[in-house]
């Protein structure tokens, strides 16, 4: 539960951090910030992310004891690849070539890929070892540094470059300051193995390629938005995409932090059959929680925009997010529910095929609609692309013999979402504000909790009862 709380708090913080940065930078400068950030995400995915995925899958307590060369191998790999990226940064700065959004922003984007890669890698090690308190401490330090440096830089300078520098320092600096929070002995830089590195890369690379293709969709669309409609429109689109993605990521990543490691444990202790059954149960849980969360967010979007969106983004924010949410939901279900089928089977190449379908669909749609004067076509193309990848992945998972989730539980969850939507839809027409938002959230929450309690959807009833008892005992 410590990991879950840390994830949720971190995501809430990142949500408001994104809003603050957008408010301080304004649409055009935030568009530059978002485009540079997207470049950094693609660079991190291409070069460093395989180390994080290998740590999550293989760096359990048992594996750490049986394969002492694993930690040094991952550390050495990270250092070597970071040096390669640093050489690229130097080459960009010295070349004189102008790159979008600018040479300086492109260079700091690559720096951000190293800083964020280091942070994500250390988080993965802590998660794999179930070092919950150390993980929470690292998140807390990072968030304090981010509000000080990233938001501070945006406030003082109004510059996308300065805000990105602050973000890089907060991520890398938090790892340094919290380095005593774990005792993994993976920083001795000796005893590494080339064969272990190749094994880890072989497992993780298909996932990495898939993630890069998904990130490439976002980067391509932000670049085209900049070219066709300008930096301000890129800022509007990016804020909606980022905050919508953080909502889905908040729920999905928090669940994944608990559920995927349960599947890994089942695989180690009871074999592949038990692991596949756990993955099927996990899928039901993700569907039962992510679906009402996404639909609920759409239902309360008018109040969210009125209360939280920076004034210069209002109108554009909700319009883009309504178009993007279906695709973001599909991407979340693929990432946090379906991908685990292939990760447990260690056959992650299939994930690439689905991601390629999504990427190709995005290219095809934008090619067809390129002559349109409506910037909304980019959001529509992105949403359809993510949906195409998801349905392709579902079909491939059935072909791979994945255990089917409890269909009756999925049906109960779907009915609960329909009932919640019918109850909240009239409230969507209310004047946006705190009162409307609170009433909507409370009503939607009560409906979904009631369905879970009555039908024991995804076997969540005991967990909810335990949480209710804890709250009641604290108040008593």
Residues 6+ apart with CB under 8 A from 259: 278, 282, 285, 286, 340
Tell me the longest C-alpha to C-alpha distance in the chain. 67
- 212-269 pLDDT, tens per residue? 999 999 999 999 999 999 999 999 999 999 999 988 888 887 787 677 777 777 776 7
Q: For the CA atoms of the chain, what is the radius of gyration? A: 22
CA angle (5 as vertex; 292, 200 as ends), nearest 5 = 90
H-state helical runs in 48-102: 49-58, 61-66, 70-95
Q: Of 114, 125, 122, 106, whose CA–CA distance to 63 is shortest? A: 125
CA distance 58 to 348: 15
Per-residue pLDDT of the chain (476 residues; tens, 9 = 90+): 566 677 677 778 888 898 999 999 999 999 999 999 999 999 999 999 999 988 887 876 566 566 777 878 888 889 999 999 999 888 888 877 778 888 889 999 999 999 999 999 988 888 777 777 888 888 889 989 999 999 999 999 999 999 999 999 999 988 888 776 555 444 455 656 778 888 888 888 888 888 899 999 999 999 999 999 999 999 999 999 999 998 888 888 778 767 777 777 777 677 777 878 888 888 999 999 999 999 999 999 999 999 989 999 999 999 999 999 999 999 999 988 898 888 777 777 788 999 999 999 999 999 998 777 799 999 999 999 999 999 999 998 888 777 888 899 999 999 999 999 999 999 999 999 999 999 999 999 999 999 999 999 888 888 788 877 776 676 65
- CA–centroid distance for 407 within its chain: 27
Is residue 149 within 8 Å of residue 168, measured between CB atoms? no
pTM listed for this prediction: 0.85
pLDDT tens for 398-423 read 887 778 888 999 999 999 999 999 99
- Crossing angle for the helix pair 160-177 and 132-157, nearest 10 degrees? 150
Whether 216 contacts 352, CB under 8 Å: no
The helix-helix angle for 272-299 and 301-308 (nearest 10°) equals: 70
């Amino acid at each position: 539960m410590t990991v879950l709380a840390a994830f949720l708090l971190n995501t809430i913080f990142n949500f408001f951090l994104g809003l603050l940065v957008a408010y301080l930078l304004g649409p055009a400068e935030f568009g530059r910030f978002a485009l540079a950030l997207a470049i950094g995400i693609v660079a991190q995915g291409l070069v460093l992310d395989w180390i994080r995925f290998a740590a999550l899958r293989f760096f359990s307590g048992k594996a750490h004891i049986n394969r002492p060369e694993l930690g040094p191998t991952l550390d050495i790999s990270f250092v070597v690849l970071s040096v390669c990226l640093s050489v690229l940064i130097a080459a960009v700065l010295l070349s004189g070539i102008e790159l979008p959004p600018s040479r300086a922003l492109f260079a700091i984007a690559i720096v951000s890929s190293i800083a964020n890669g280091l942070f994500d890698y250390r988080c993965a090690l802590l998660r794999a070892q179930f070092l919950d308190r150390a993980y929470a401490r690292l998140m807390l330090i990072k968030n304090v540094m981010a509000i000080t440096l990233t938001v501070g830089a945006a406030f003082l300078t109004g510059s996308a470059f300065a805000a990105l520098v602050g973000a890089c320092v907060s991520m890398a600096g938090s790892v340094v300051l919290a380095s005593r929070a774990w005792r993994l002995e993976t920083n001795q830089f000796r005893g590494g193995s080339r064969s272990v590195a190749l094994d880890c890369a072989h497992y993780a690379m298909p996932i990495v390629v898939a993630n890069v293709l998904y990130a490439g969709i976002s980067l391509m669309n932000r670049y085209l938005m900049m070219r066709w409609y300008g930096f301000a429109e890129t800022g509007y689109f990016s804020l909606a995409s980022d905050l919508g993605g953080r909502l889905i990521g908040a729920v999905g990543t928090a669940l994944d932090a608990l559920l995927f490691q349960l599947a890994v444990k089942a695989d180690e202790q009871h074999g592949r059959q038990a692991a596949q059954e756990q993955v099927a149960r996990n899928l039901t849980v993700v569907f039962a929680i992510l679906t009402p969360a996404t639909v609920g967010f759409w239902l309360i979007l008018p109040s969210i925009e009125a209360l939280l969106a920076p004034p210069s983004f209002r109108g554009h924010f909700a319009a883009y997010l309504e178009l993007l949410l279906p695709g973001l939901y599909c991407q979340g279900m693929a990432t946090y529910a379906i991908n685990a089928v292939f990760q447990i089977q260690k056959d992650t190449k299939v994930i690439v095929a689905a991601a390629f379908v999504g990427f190709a669909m995005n290219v095809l749609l934008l090619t067809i609609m390129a002559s349109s004067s409506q910037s909304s076509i980019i959001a529509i193309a992105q949403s359809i692309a993510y949906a195409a990848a998801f349905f392709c992945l579902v079909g491939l998972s059935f072909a791979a013999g994945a255990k089917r989730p409890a269909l009756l539980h999925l049906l109960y969850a779907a009915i609960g979402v329909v009932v919640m939507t019918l109850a909240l839809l009239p409230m969507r027409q209310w004047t946006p504000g705190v009162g409307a938002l609170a009433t909507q959230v409370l009503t939607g929450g009560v409906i979904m909790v009631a369905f879970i309690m009555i039908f024991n959807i995804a076997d969540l009833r005991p967990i909810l009862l335990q949480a209710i008892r804890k709250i009641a005992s604290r108040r008593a």
